[in-house]
Chains A and B, each alone.
Chain A
Amino acid sequence: MSLIIDHIDKSFGALKALDQIDFEVRDGELFGLIGPDGAGKSTLFRIMASLLIPEAGRCTMHGYDVVKDYREVRKIIGYMPGRFSLYMDLTVEENLAFYARVFGTTVTENYDLIRDVYEQIAPFKKRLAGKLSGGMKQKLALSCALIHRPQILLLDEPTTGVDAVSRREFWEMLKGIQKQGICTVVSTPYMDEAEMCDRVAMIQKGKLLDISDPSRPAPEEAPLLYSLKSNKGVYAYLDQIRNMEACKHAWLFGDQLHVTLRTEEGAVEMRALIESWGDPSITWKAIRPSIEDRFMGLMEHGSESQLTNGEQI
């Protein structure tokens, strides 16, 4: 195991930021942490990066305790904070050289590791880091986090505020880094990105809801999740679907409406309701739950008041 998080608690005043978080990350794994803003992801990252001390529980990186052996931990991890934290008034190459030298290495020594990432920003190496675009900043931050060849890479929301194309490139780079044998923990608020991970932990309000494995097929269950689509848009139907007896919960999913039924037989009631609208463009079918569906289901399970929050994700 590269990383062991053992029942960690952390509070800020009355706010319980992390509540009995407990999971393990395997060697060479690309592990995702997903959850809405304020779920406690960044707090967890800061604990893993030895910047915060947990109130209870233990966190070890390759066997080094983040509290006791923080000095060893800092040598083997690469951490990229959620907020851009490099020197805005130093150039791209100066930032990189600075972090290399601080770790007692050189850029050339570990260039093979960062080549894929760094080559994309190399044309701008004389530019001040503060003048880079959001996507380029993230690539530079990733290069700096990798330059000392860490064994564990911690990336806190690396793609927040980055355009869609750069986001995809960024994830391809993470896959490349994974091939070099580096274990990566990455958090994201975007559901689609979670699908790129080997395993995903879902966190909400400081609690670990579930750990799922996107590559593994979901256990065969009776089809309870349905997707509705209409040319007229589905928003108008949301309330009626929710008021239906058989509906456990329903939420907007892009241009579709996802409905989870209480029982398999509920499909009959739903069919009757849909036919009563007389909308010829409406289509509906049973689907396999994605991570987002699972997350929505789990969140609503956790608390009913989350219903409206859930729609916004």
Chain B
Amino acid sequence: MRILFTLLVKEFKQIFRNRMLLPLMFVLPVVQMILLTYAASLEMKGIRMAVVDQDHSQASRLLVSRFQGSPFFEMNLATSDYLEALSELTSDKVDVILHMQHGFEKKLYAEKETSLQLVVNAINTTEAGLINSYCTRIVNDYNGQIRAEWFVSDGAGMMKTLDIIPKYWYNPLLDYKIYMFSGILVIIVTLIGMLLTALNLVREKEMGTTEQINVTPIRKYQFLLAKLLPFMIIALFELAFGLVLGRLLFGLPMVGSLGLLFLFTCIYLLVVLGIGLFLSTISQTQQQLMFMAFFFMITFMLMSGIFTPADSMPPWAQKINLLNPVAYFMKVIRMILLKGSGFGDITREFYSLCIYATLILTLAITNYRKTT
């Protein structure tokens, strides 16, 4: 106990003395939480549209006015020359072309059916998908309105259509920010747990200080515990700090038990610290470590479901994700915070991570012994 305490005091002294590290640990996450939450939004505004209206009819103008009324679109070009609009699209001055051919209205009234063309720039597939779905919704609304008018004019009585009114559970306003924010919290906790611990360990190796430590009565487990505990505490503190910040800035809901969230985070941190420790045993310099840690961080992060739902990945990718601790935490933090899931709902994730932690820590510690 005396030795562990002495080591912990030393570690904290070194961490707090590091003029770069400490501010970075708090300033960068704040910047990240604010910046990314606002920036990494899946809502698109100001979609630049070119309208090619070759019909110049009431029906076509009505459709265009619907687009004009939407906050998501801005009309950049109105022309009757399709090729002109296309050249605007290829030179990236507009994102989408709405094309109505001559006879649009006539066909609509004569055949009760008409067609229009949407040309979307799909360099960015996510963006293209969003533009398409926004456009489809507006066209559908337009459809509904016209049909309603017909029914009224036909005197056939009330319109009977299937109208879907969605109700979004757990995030009724589809507020993208709170979804994003919880994801960024996960990234920050992971970054501190994995990267800082590993860097700290490799630094001791690089500086040669382990040479002196190894001839003291300090036992390996004491040394490692003293390395892991401080960053675990800092990561938990950072989580608490982030939750307060999210509450104040974005009204982050905390439906579930915070105690459960912190308990789960502790288990998660054991896994992440274990990975960090393992990486530090197989690298000799901070440079090597950074490279490897980046590989794992980015892979884990992108596969975790922070931007795209993990459930929509192909089956083989979901199998790989069983080894991705970030995916577990990403899922659970949203379950607890947004949905209020209790322990019973996250048992699978909880026990999976417990097993994961045991395995990776065992591997890392035995490997650490071998290298010294």
Q: Which residues of A does B touch, CB under 8 Å?
A: 49-51, 71, 74-75, 77, 79, 81, 83-90, 94, 98-99, 101-104, 144
Contact = CB atoms under 8 A, between A and B. Distances in A.
Interface string B204-227: 000111111011111000000000
Interface of B: 2-3, 6-7, 10, 13-14, 17-18, 207-212, 214-218
B208 A102 contact: no
- 7 closest pairs, A vs B, by CB? A85-B212, A101-B6, A79-B215, A81-B211, A85-B211, A85-B208, A83-B208
Main SS at interface, chain B:
helix
A123 B6 CA distance: 25
A87 B10 contact: yes
Contacts of B208: 81, 83-85
Nearest to B222: A102
B11 to A, nearest CB: 10
A83 B210 CA distance: 11
A98 B215 CA distance: 14
Given A81-B212, A85-B209, A98 B217 contact: no
A89 B22 CA distance: 14
A147 to B, nearest CB: 11
A90 B215 contact: no
Contact of A102 (B13, B17, B18, B217): B217
Given A49-B215, A94-B10, A98-B10, 12 more contacts: A74-B215, A74-B217, A77-B215, A79-B215, A85-B209, A85-B212, A89-B18, A90-B13, A90-B14, A98-B6, A99-B212, A103-B216
A144 B211 CA distance: 13
A142 to B, nearest CB: 12
Nearest to A74: B215
B12 to A, nearest CB: 12
A74 B216 CA distance: 6
Contacts of A83: 208, 211
A102 B211 contact: no
Contact of B212 (A50, A86, A89, A101): A86
B209 A87 contact: yes
Given A90-B14, A94-B13, A99 B211 contact: no
30 contacts: A49-B215, A51-B211, A51-B215, A74-B215, A74-B216, A74-B217, A77-B215, A79-B215, A81-B208, A83-B208, A85-B207, A85-B208, A85-B209, A85-B210, A85-B211, A86-B209, A87-B10, A88-B207, A89-B14, A89-B17, A94-B10, A98-B10, A99-B216, A101-B2, A101-B3, A101-B6, A102-B3, A102-B6, A102-B217, A144-B212
